[in-house]
Structure 1
Amino acid sequence: MERILIIAEAGVNHNGNLETAKQLAMAAKECGADIVKFQTARLDSLVSKYAGTAEYQKRNTGKEESQKEMLKKLLLSFEDFIELADYCREIGIQFLSTPFDIESIRFLDNMQDIWKVPSGEITNYPYLVEIGKTKKKVILSTGMSTMKEVHEAVDTLKSTGTPELTLLHCTTEYPAPVKEVNLNVMDTLRSEFGCPVGYSDHTQGIEISLAAAAMGASVIEKHFTLDRNMPGPDHKASLEPDALKRLAEGIRKIELAKGTHVKEPVLSEIKNRDAARKSIVALRNITKGERFSVHNLTTKRPGNGISPMMWNEVIGQEANRDFEEDELIEI
């Protein structure tokens, strides 16, 4: 059984509060996630004073403000992340944070063994080079990207040292419209790059993530929050803990259900074959020496006699004894 990695994307849903971040980490663990992921950035390195907010951020916050004004209220300090990573180790869930600038990459380098590169950084060449130089596994989201851009990012990461890469298909809208999800792109990425492929889900609900898991996603990433009514840009497109728990449980069931590629009877169904299948039986009473034909044979349950697939071999043979109606034929 191939285990699907479940990333609970807390992001900035702590609203800049360390204790809320710890609560998110505990909730992710209790819900069955493998990793709780946050976002680390130095505000002045992330965004200029001229950058406006995205349409979904305006819609979800109900405010007209710059990205810098919005993010200033949402970011944790480096010191907070040191304490948060320690807390995650204490409670037994893997800590991961996405860096959004080179200073944050260097800060996080000693705190985690893998990187999650967000869709927005896929065309940031200096950033990708810095990630590649660490020679750690990378999970790369590909939202908003053309295939050419994905190739360029992959080539940059691999040429600078990335040893192992997982690509996440993603639709970068919050929430993402189902009609624009295009889960089949996972197959395209897998075929094009020959690497594991997963899905970063921004749709509402858990159905699309479950579908992606069934389609072979090796990683499922999903935003979650303690309360979708909290202020902030990402809460409304996030799962609350009860839904995250249902998602994790559903993914684990899908893992079990996918099973083996071998087509053969499994243990639970073997005992049902005799009851469900049919055998060749006497259509009416048959006397010894009478030839079997379509006029005196038929097929009925149970299936513990001669298989109907032997029909042509049985037709024309002589009965070696008397048979009563419905009795299993012997030859």
Structure 2
Amino acid sequence: MGKYPYIVAEIGGNHNGDIELGKKMIKAAKECGADAVKFQLYRREDLWTEDHLKELNDGVVKLENVSNWSTKELGLNNIFEQVDKFAVQEQEHIEFFNYARELGIDYGTSAFTKKDVDFCIDQKCANLKVASCDVTNLDLIEYVISKDYPTQIALGMASLAEIEAIVKLIPERFKHNVTLLHCVSLYPPKDEYVNLNFLHTLRQALGMEVGYSDHTFGFSIPLAAIALGATVIEKHFTLDKNLPGWDHKVSANPEEMRIIASESKRIVDALGNGIKVVSDDEIAKQKKFRRSITTANSLKAGQEITYNDILFKRPGTGIPADRFKEVIGRHVNRDIEENKTLFWEDLVK
């Protein structure tokens, strides 16, 4: 990873099956300062049984997603049509990828089958992602890892034991190419479920790059994750939160994505290296804002200085306030008026 977090604008299904909308989103993500856009490569038959989709369509099984399926708003008859419409196929990925390349923004893909993994690598996608739904699909994960390709693995819904099972599949020599993404697979999760401190646990326990895949509203939580060491931030992205579809409401709009991208750099710069250093700019302030030993009353040449003869006032150009015990008992070598800064050269040697 570079100095700054890698910001991924997760377009996912927010293109709503519209190639031109997808391209507008890629361009907007680039303009917002995101490092990458990410889409998903899947087919209905690879992810769902027909029975399960029918249960979703009939309302037997409900999702908590705040956007839900929005089938009617999209002018579609059923969930089967929506899944097919939102599925980006190989040729469409190539079109998106080429457009992203023209604009100079990385293009990443969630791959759900080995065939899709190979396709993404052949297309030289910037990185692969294993989605949270596949944390127990060790066959797919092992295949992805065997490619030694830049990969992000989302850990939504995963127990620590399941995460450890994934890490055991990663040879030490391949770990540099894998980032574990802390994630809570709720849309959105309650704040108390987010548990950003788990980023520390992941890093300390596993010694790997960690990031955060966010489903919360707004930009505060992703920025907090950066402050806790996330090197990758993935945030769903939309041009308009009111569009129908799966994830628009929990997505960052361009204004929010711009804040995430720009403020992430400020946060990293502000974190520093943990070593206390007084900058030259601060040193210059010492003379203006620190206090010096100041006469509380007028002093005659040869007079001994007592505690009652001194005060502590700005500027800090005279004898520093923390040296006052070295001054008490000394004698002045000239007459000094009240409320004057005291200097070492004013004292008898």
Q: Deviations over 1:266-322 (max 9, x none)?
A: 233333221210011111111122211111112111101111111111111122222
SS in 2 for 1:281: strand
Please report how far the alpha carbon of residue 323 of structure 1 lies from its aligned counterpart in structure 2 after TM superposition.
1.6
Please report how far the alpha carbon of residue 114 of structure 1 lies from its aligned counterpart in structure 2 after TM superposition.
2.6
Please, what is the CA RMSD of the aligned residues? 2.2
**TM-score, scaled to structure 1:** 0.93
Aligned to 1:313: 326
Matched, 1:4 2:13: no
Flag the 1:161–1:323 CA change in 2: closer, same or farther, 3 A. closer
Q: How many percent identity over aligned positions?
A: 36
Matches within 5 A, 1:189-208: 189-208=202-221
Amino acid at match of 1:36: V
Matched, 1:78 2:78: no
Flag the 1:187–1:161 CA change in 2: closer, same or farther, 3 A. closer
Amino acid at match of 1:56: E
Distance 2:294 2:174 in 1: 70
Matched, 1:17 2:32: no
Aligned to 1:326: 339
Which of 97, 100, 105 aligns to 2:109? It is 97
Aligned to 1:134: 147
- Paired residue total: 331
Q: Deviations over 1:7-31 (max 9, x none)?
A: 0000111112222211111110011
Is contact 2:8–2:36 with CA below 8 Å preserved after alignment?
yes
Aligned to 1:272: 285
Distance 2:341 2:274 in 1: 35
Is contact 2:12–2:38 with CA below 8 Å preserved after alignment?
yes
Matched, 1:55 2:63: yes
Aligned to 2:59: none
Which of 215, 233, 241 aligns to 2:246? It is 233
Flag the 1:163–1:327 CA change in 2: closer, same or farther, 3 A. closer
Distance 2:102 2:319 in 1: 63
Amino acid at match of 1:171: V
Q: Deviations over 1:45-93 (max 9, x none)?
A: 2222122545124862256998755422211110111111111111111
Flag the 1:51–1:156 CA change in 2: closer, same or farther, 3 A. farther
Unaligned runs of 5+ in 1: none
Distance 1:232 1:243 in 2: 19
Matched, 1:31 2:44: no
Aligned to 1:291: 304
Runs ≥4 in structure 1, deviation > 6 angstroms? 64-67
Matches within 5 A, 1:173-212: 173-212=186-225
Q: Deviations over 1:161-214 (max 9, x none)?
A: 555322211111111211211111111111111122221110001111111112
Flag the 1:183–1:108 CA change in 2: closer, same or farther, 3 A. same
Please report how far the alpha carbon of residue 144 of structure 1 lies from its aligned counterpart in structure 2 after TM superposition.
0.9
Greater shift, 22-31 or 69-78, is seen at 69-78
